[in-house]
Chain A
Amino acid sequence: MKYILIVGCGKSGKGLGLELSKTENVVVVDRSLRSLDSLGDDFNGKKIWADAMDTNTLEQAGVKEADVVFLLTGNDNLNLVVSKVVKRKYGVKKVVLQVNDIAKEKIFKEEGLNIINRTNLIVEVLNKCIS
């Protein structure tokens, strides 16, 4: 079982958390209690109601043991800052983050982080639809 940390329980965080908690060890962190509650009874993992910009929260969530960290808040800047700290300070091997702005994606790309951009993803899928 992999240890997976998800920061941000919006639509993607929630969906991923629910899916992965069936087979893996999942921790979801969010600043909003309502978002965490939205995971419902089907969620089989740990929920932490706290600020991910606080390193104590990350440590409490077991970032050091995490195999993968997903940063899926709607805030690009928060995702970028936390991803770098998670990679640099805690040495997490696999860090995946959502960045909505393409310009920022380009700048931070070189850092060895897996950056996901919604627009690019959709364009890719749509492109496949015509072939």
Chain B
Amino acid sequence: MTQPLKVDDQNFKGVVIEAKTPFLVDFWAPWCAPCRAIAPAVEELAGEYAGQVGFGKVNVDENPKVATEYGVRSIPTLLLFKDGKPVKQIVGLRPKAELKKHLDDVLTGKG
């Protein structure tokens, strides 16, 4: 398992928008149980896709700006960025296999 980077309102642009690879951002909060439940799968994917996709977590309690900017009104929400733009939005506790498919689609240019 690999810990996703801590992303916040300040470093979001540098870490996510300007990333050279696709970047998955996990919007979460400490009081959200499904967010905690999805975390291990995201950490596993961070390990499996190391070097191909960047992974980060945004605590929406502490970073309302970026959550509002991307219209996040439900957590967990995973936003997958490519070339600085969100290309996939995955809402709720979803199976790891489904997350993997979204990553593969973006990596192979299908999504």
Chains A and B bind each other: no
Partner-B contacts on A (CB < 8 A): none
